[in-house]
Structure 1
């Protein structure tokens, strides 16, 4: 019976203990690299290239230095061999460090063997200096051919130890390596500074883009470079955005204006029909007119919200005035329609927001309407100073807002309770966000201490 699975299982289990697969490691490295900033990536690339190039240059320089030292030594050896060759021809003794061999490498000077293998001998016969390694280290050999009076050829071989050249190269390397590190560090620092200077216009453009409002454009640099071209393209994109927003605002405004009159007429007729039914009308007819009246009222509120939202998005906020939030909250609570939900207001100290009375009224009306619509029994409203800001909190004990929806509840026509048939068109919180952000404030959704929703508004404080 064949058992391939049993033989492969231990191999897989043993391999799994070696770490994650290479593909995952590569993805991890690419992910780490992608998370780095552009300045860091450029600097790391420059540092790596600098180390590689400088190391190659050091190796090249060390090789050239060694070649120059060895070549200079070869010249000295050749001079010694030529001087000794005359003594060999004359039959006088050769000086120390010079040997005489035949063309087969056999010594003929009676001083014992020479550490030359056949390959080295062939090189010396060809006139090529050779390097020979032995127990004492490396040695350099240079041969000069001579002919004895009896006509037999000989090689006069001069040799020297390469230990001095190796020591010189080692000492040079001791200076080269720190030099490479210092040069790489200097190039890395220069790359960091240069990249920072090169990206400074991009940082300024990013900061300017963050503060660019409707109708405003980015400043175009004087230099006709890539940054200027980017600024021009971004300005063209902003122009298209402003045009699209303006068309949408005009459409919403015009549509709301056009709808106000027929809806008001429809509502008036429905209310008259409900208040003064005809004698021959049935209960079904009167119920239908009551439904028409309710729908007309909802349409009226929707059109009013659309108009307010269009004005908030398209118009420049007027000059702010100090608005007493305690007084504004009292008026908003009084305006709120009758409900079984209790409302508490807590303003421990005078709090004044830098806005206008209509803006604050719209914000409070929509926040209270939203809280009353979702609360079970109570709504808590509080306003406190917070340095240069004032903080308004509206808490309810309803079902709350899921964390995934706490951003999109401020978008147009977003209704988390649309399936329940609750009133509202999803424009109230969008209008709140536009009005508050138009003053430089913020509005956030969170969780209240009672388990429901908390809407936190931060307005600039009036000085």
Structure 2
């Protein structure tokens, strides 16, 4: 299943996004809380001013003179006694004002804030001196503050996200160096452990332990492969020598059928020897046994591989390498790849094999073309599996391991191997290595 957008992002990006979102939520909550506290402070300051005005008007209420503008006089039930018309207060609001609590009244007009100061007249009756003001100024102040709060919150969240991006990059930089060192580590080498006593040092130590276990496993596999190859080669060589002697010097009274049987034994012993050699090389490639990569000039390596071909009347091998091209591998690996690819093409070709070396930017391509029966489309991936024989070439000799070994060696260096159709109508096998940064 394809990972989602979040899973495809880098750790640095995810940290910055999470910090930015958390900062935005926290700052919005704090701004909301701050706006509420600001409104409460403004309203409480206004309540004090209203209470002072109502207190100052108590003397006028006691002597029965008219109250200043903006003030009202009612009984404890909220009924006006100052002759100025009704008061827009419901009974619950009047009771709250009588108990000393300020009241905010919202209606079809502007929201107003009311404060009451009780007064006891000389005849013993109780009155309420009411003072009020509109809250338009307070709400305007709050709206103006909110207009500055939101951009400030967004800017602060962006700044914190950018800081998290930079901090995550600085924190992950040692991880990148550790990754680069791990990618370049060779056999029997270990990662440098940072002097700090942190998680990176612990990670480097654990990776070194893993590399140690890997090298131990590779050593055991190498010893087993070497021992098995040695134990198998000796009897195979003895069997082949015996068969060759029997074919060259037939025993008295032996028939043609006897000599043909010994020739078959000699051919099978030779195939067994090649099979053991290929199995040993493939086991070492699977075990990760490879030296440090170096710059290998493919043109010279192809010429050496052609020089190792048997001097017989087989198909002609041509080489085209117009410029120097250096592959990032080892000479032994390149030699094995060339021996298998050129030998495979020569076994299947009718008359000619073309070997081309083509630089391609960051890559170096090796093309081996023949004019043989070719490889069917449905078999072009399977030919690199072990013991795979294409039906069109099933009658030829070979262990069925050569192309599998080629694929392991080339892919082990980060390259690719492909099978296709050559311009001559046969098979084209293409090996692509990463280009070495510079020649020797």
User: Is the pair's TM-score, using the shorter chain for normalization, greater than 0.5?
Assistant: yes
Q: Helix, strand or coil for the counterpart of 1:105?
A: coil
Q: Deviations over 1:394-438 (max 9, x none)?
A: 1235116769838x93xxx72332774754334434555677789
Report the equivalent of 2:273: 300
The Cα of 1:163 is off from its aligned counterpart by: 0.8
Partner of residue 180 from structure 2, selected from 187, 192, 207: 207
Question: CA 1:326/1:186 → structure 2, altered by over 3 Å: closer, same or farther?
Answer: closer
Q: Tell me, in whole angstroms, the C-alpha distance in 2 between the residues paired with 1:195 and 1:183.
A: 18
Report the equivalent of 1:417: 389
Q: Tell me, in whole angstroms, the C-alpha distance in 1 between the residues paired with 2:182 and 2:98.
A: 80
Q: Tell me, in whole angstroms, the C-alpha distance in 2 between the residues paired with 1:239 and 1:62.
A: 62
The Cα of 1:447 is off from its aligned counterpart by: 2.7
Q: Helix, strand or coil for the counterpart of 2:367?
A: strand
Contact kept? 2:79, 2:86, Cα under 8 Å:
yes
Question: CA 1:345/1:98 → structure 2, altered by over 3 Å: closer, same or farther?
Answer: same
Report the equivalent of 2:211: 238
Q: Helix, strand or coil for the counterpart of 2:111?
A: strand
Q: Tell me, in whole angstroms, the C-alpha distance in 1 between the residues paired with 2:57 and 2:295.
A: 107
The Cα of 1:329 is off from its aligned counterpart by: 5.3
Q: Tell me, in whole angstroms, the C-alpha distance in 2 between the residues paired with 1:205 and 1:245.
A: 23
Partner of residue 366 from structure 1, selected from 334, 340, 345: 340
When the two chains are superposed, the root-mean-square deviation of aligned CA atoms in Å is: 3.5
Question: CA 1:203/1:301 → structure 2, altered by over 3 Å: closer, same or farther?
Answer: same
Instruction: Please say which of residues 316-325 and 180-189 is displaced more in the overlay.
Output: 316-325
Question: CA 1:115/1:389 → structure 2, altered by over 3 Å: closer, same or farther?
Answer: closer
Q: Tell me, in whole angstroms, the C-alpha distance in 2 between the residues paired with 1:132 and 1:336.
A: 111
Question: CA 1:441/1:331 → structure 2, altered by over 3 Å: closer, same or farther?
Answer: farther
Partner of residue 270 from structure 1, selected from 225, 228, 243: 243
Partner of residue 61 from structure 1, selected from 30, 34, 37: 34
Contact kept? 1:325, 1:353, Cα under 8 Å:
no
The Cα of 1:205 is off from its aligned counterpart by: 1.0
The Cα of 1:48 is off from its aligned counterpart by: 0.8
Q: Tell me, in whole angstroms, the C-alpha distance in 2 between the residues paired with 1:331 and 1:426.
A: 23
The Cα of 1:348 is off from its aligned counterpart by: 3.9
Q: Deviations over 1:183-205 (max 9, x none)?
A: 10110001101111111111111
Instruction: Please say which of residues 314-323 and 274-283 is displaced more in the overlay.
Output: 314-323
Report the equivalent of 2:402: 428
Report the equivalent of 1:36: 9
Any gaps of 5 or more consecutive residues in structure 1? 1-26
Contact kept? 2:186, 2:292, Cα under 8 Å:
no
TM-score (normalizing by structure 1): 0.81
Q: Tell me, in whole angstroms, the C-alpha distance in 2 between the residues paired with 1:139 and 1:357.
A: 93
* 2:116 is equivalent to residue 116 of structure 1: no
TM-score (normalizing by structure 2): 0.85
Report the equivalent of 2:191: 218
* 2:99 is equivalent to residue 98 of structure 1: no
Report the equivalent of 1:19: none
Report the equivalent of 2:117: 144
* 2:147 is equivalent to residue 156 of structure 1: no
Report the equivalent of 1:453: 428
Q: Tell me, in whole angstroms, the C-alpha distance in 2 between the residues paired with 1:89 and 1:352.
A: 110
Report the equivalent of 1:380: 354
The Cα of 1:113 is off from its aligned counterpart by: 0.9
Contact kept? 2:221, 2:284, Cα under 8 Å:
no
Q: Tell me, in whole angstroms, the C-alpha distance in 2 between the residues paired with 1:453 and 1:405.
A: 13
Q: Deviations over 1:287-329 (max 9, x none)?
A: 5433322221012212334555678865747997877356435
Report the equivalent of 1:324: 300
Q: Tell me, in whole angstroms, the C-alpha distance in 1 between the residues paired with 2:329 and 2:142.
A: 79
Q: Tell me, in whole angstroms, the C-alpha distance in 1 between the residues paired with 2:258 and 2:363.
A: 55
Q: Helix, strand or coil for the counterpart of 1:335?
A: coil
Any gaps of 5 or more consecutive residues in structure 2? none
Q: Tell me, in whole angstroms, the C-alpha distance in 2 between the residues paired with 1:159 and 1:38.
A: 58
Partner of residue 375 from structure 2, selected from 390, 399, 402: 399
* 2:157 is equivalent to residue 181 of structure 1: no
Q: Helix, strand or coil for the counterpart of 1:209?
A: helix
Question: CA 1:173/1:402 → structure 2, altered by over 3 Å: closer, same or farther?
Answer: same
Contact kept? 1:374, 1:399, Cα under 8 Å:
no
Q: Helix, strand or coil for the counterpart of 1:182?
A: helix
Q: Helix, strand or coil for the counterpart of 1:116?
A: coil
The Cα of 1:99 is off from its aligned counterpart by: 0.5
* 2:25 is equivalent to residue 52 of structure 1: yes
Q: Helix, strand or coil for the counterpart of 1:324?
A: helix
Contact kept? 2:410, 2:431, Cα under 8 Å:
no
Question: CA 1:272/1:230 → structure 2, altered by over 3 Å: closer, same or farther?
Answer: same
| Paired residues, number | 429
Question: CA 1:319/1:393 → structure 2, altered by over 3 Å: closer, same or farther?
Answer: closer
Q: Tell me, in whole angstroms, the C-alpha distance in 2 between the residues paired with 1:104 and 1:317.
A: 99
The Cα of 1:143 is off from its aligned counterpart by: 0.7
Question: CA 1:63/1:387 → structure 2, altered by over 3 Å: closer, same or farther?
Answer: closer
